[in-house]
Amino acid sequence: MKRRDFVKASALAGLSASIAPTAFARARSRLRVGIVGTGLRGRSHLSLLLDRDDVEIAALCDIEQFMLDSALKMVADAGKPKPRVYTGSDDAWRRMYADGKLDAVVIATPWEWHAPQAIGAMEAKIAVGCEVVAGITLDDHWNVLRTQQRTGTPYMLLENVCYRRDVMAVLNMARQGLFGEVVHLEGGYEHDLRAVKFNSGEPGAPYGGGVEFGDKGWSEAKWRTPHSVRRNGDLYPSHGIGPCAMWADIHRGNRFVRLTSYASKARGLHDYIVKNGGEAHPNAQVKFALGDVVTTQIACANGESILLTHDTSLPRPYSLGFRVQGTGGLWMDVNQSIYLAGRSPEPHRWEPAQAWLDKYDHPLWKKYAGDAAGAGHGGMDFFVIHAFVEALKRGEPMPIDVYDAVAWSAITPLSEQSIAGGNRTVDFPDFTEGKWRDRPRIFALDDRY
């Protein structure tokens, strides 16, 4: 064994001993997986899991019969055995866990359910693949972390953007030093979600067609929009912060130390209601707390700065606004351009980034691009499910682990605190309690997962 491979194997073994579970630290060839939440996101995961021979869809849980029926049809159309079904109450997931017939569960329910359902699964020794976010309050995040530490049950945040093809190529470039020492990073969630936050309330019609939400809405309009009514902060940080955290080696020799957040005035959602439902519509009287544009500045222990933007209530093209800047140059996804000092053709001029992204295409994408073709969100959904399944089968640590999950997600309540306190700077909890200094990299080290 080469020394480099030995060091990497030793690091993984040490990490497995510290956070990966003795009950799961064994190889297995097939996983019995349940899904809690068979809405649009849950069914996206279901589709990918049904394509795998190493997964049995053993159970489905939802309180919406329309969603369950759609999911069951997907299973039947795939020619797979009918899974056990749990429904009828908000506690149906508890019965699913109690049956003791699952190796893993994918949680794709409304945000407020993620922490209790993940905690319940870990208590039952069921590995967790949880959609973003990890929790609502700061206490939620500590409770998720403490449960994982106490039970040793694997937990992975299913943040797909970490596996976006250009994001991974840039990670490959950063690790090879093309940007020099990383100094500043940017990312966010800049996506016009007005037709997601409002609809007609008709089952099967999740996007637009009306201005209803809450009890009269359907799908995300039912549960997601009420957060915009009562909360003001970065409500969806992980798409932006996930890649930034990997570029900055957060929890792998670096950590977040403090943040400050700002929110603009709230106008976009009200304007949408008036234009599509009229000033007389009852929802035109709703006061939305969420600022249309929320920006969060984060300081890191090693001196990097990170700027996050949450912008979902105004008309705009989709963008995550990534920027990686260091002593050797920078890449920006908005203009699809790059500049590398001493390497780009002309000084002080952008060049198209694609040739560099192709040259440094990550080994995972080189190996699995064919398998990812047709998967959701440009193929990156394939990689996040593949990573969860493969790590669990091998008894290895989750590549996006519980420390990543709680830190990325805790940006939301911390940003709320900052804004509510007049944009005060808030100290960032050290969820690793000092372990960040010595934890080795494990994310996307090779072409396995």
26: domain CATH number? 3.40.50.720
Neighbours of 424 (CB within 10 A): 11
Residue pLDDT tens, the chain, 449 long: 333 343 344 444 444 444 444 456 567 789 999 999 999 999 999 999 999 999 999 999 999 999 999 999 999 999 999 999 999 999 999 999 999 899 999 999 999 999 999 999 999 999 999 999 999 999 999 999 999 999 999 999 999 999 999 999 999 999 999 999 999 999 999 999 999 999 999 999 999 999 999 999 999 999 999 999 999 999 999 999 999 999 999 999 999 999 999 999 999 999 999 999 999 999 999 999 999 999 999 999 999 999 999 999 999 999 999 999 999 999 999 999 999 999 999 999 999 999 999 999 999 999 999 999 888 788 899 999 999 999 999 999 999 999 999 999 999 999 999 999 999 999 999 999 999 999 999 999 999 99
pLDDT 10s digits, 266-303: 999 999 999 999 999 999 999 999 999 999 999 999 99
Is residue 144 domain-shared with residue 183, that is, in the same domain? no
Tokens of 316: 């705009």
Is 135 a member of any domain?
A: yes
Is residue 112 domain-shared with residue 198, that is, in the same domain? no
pLDDT 10s digits, 316-330: 999 999 999 999 999
Helix pair angle (138-151, 402-420), 10° resolution: 160
Is 448 a member of any domain?
A: no
Measured on CA atoms in the order 65, 68, 70, 75, is the torsion positive or negative?
Answer: negative
Q: Provide the Cα torsion 398, 400, 401, 407; round to 10°.
A: 180
- Burial of residue 282 (CB within 10 Å: 0-12, 13-18, 19+) is exposed
What b/e sequence results for 37-46 when a residue is b if at least 16 CB atoms lie within 10 Å of its CB, and e otherwise?
Answer: bbbbbbbbbb
Is residue 145 domain-shared with residue 214, that is, in the same domain? no
C-alpha 267/C-alpha 272 separation (Å) is 9
Is residue 426 domain-shared with residue 296, that is, in the same domain? yes
Domain end: 107, 126, 159, which one? Answer: 159
Is 106 a member of any domain?
A: yes
Domain end: 159, 193, 208, which one? Answer: 159
What b/e sequence results for 184-211 when a residue is b if at least 16 CB atoms lie within 10 Å of its CB, and e otherwise?
Answer: bbbbbbbbbbbebbbbbbeeeebebebb
Measured on CA atoms in the order 160, 165, 167, 170, is the torsion positive or negative?
Answer: positive
Is 176 a member of any domain?
A: yes
Is 33 a member of any domain?
A: yes
Which H helix or E strand runs over 223? helix 220-223
433: domain CATH number? 3.30.360.10
Which H helix or E strand runs over 260? strand 256-263
Is residue 75 domain-shared with residue 133, that is, in the same domain? yes
C-alpha 449/C-alpha 443 separation (Å) is 8
Is residue 53 domain-shared with residue 143, that is, in the same domain? yes
Q: What is the predicted pLDDT for the residue at 377?
A: 81
- Burial of residue 416 (CB within 10 Å: 0-12, 13-18, 19+) is buried
Is 449 a member of any domain?
A: no
Tokens of 160: 């797909």
Range of the domain at 185: 162-363+401-437
Is residue 178 domain-shared with residue 324, that is, in the same domain? yes
C-alpha 249/C-alpha 271 separation (Å) is 41
Is residue 155 domain-shared with residue 194, that is, in the same domain? no
Is residue 146 domain-shared with residue 227, that is, in the same domain? no
In total, how many domains does the chain have? 2
C-alpha 419/C-alpha 332 separation (Å) is 28
Is 369 a member of any domain?
A: no
Is 147 a member of any domain?
A: yes
Residue among 116, 154, 203 at smallest CA distance from 396: 154
Is residue 47 domain-shared with residue 134, that is, in the same domain? yes
Domain end: 131, 159, 187, which one? Answer: 159
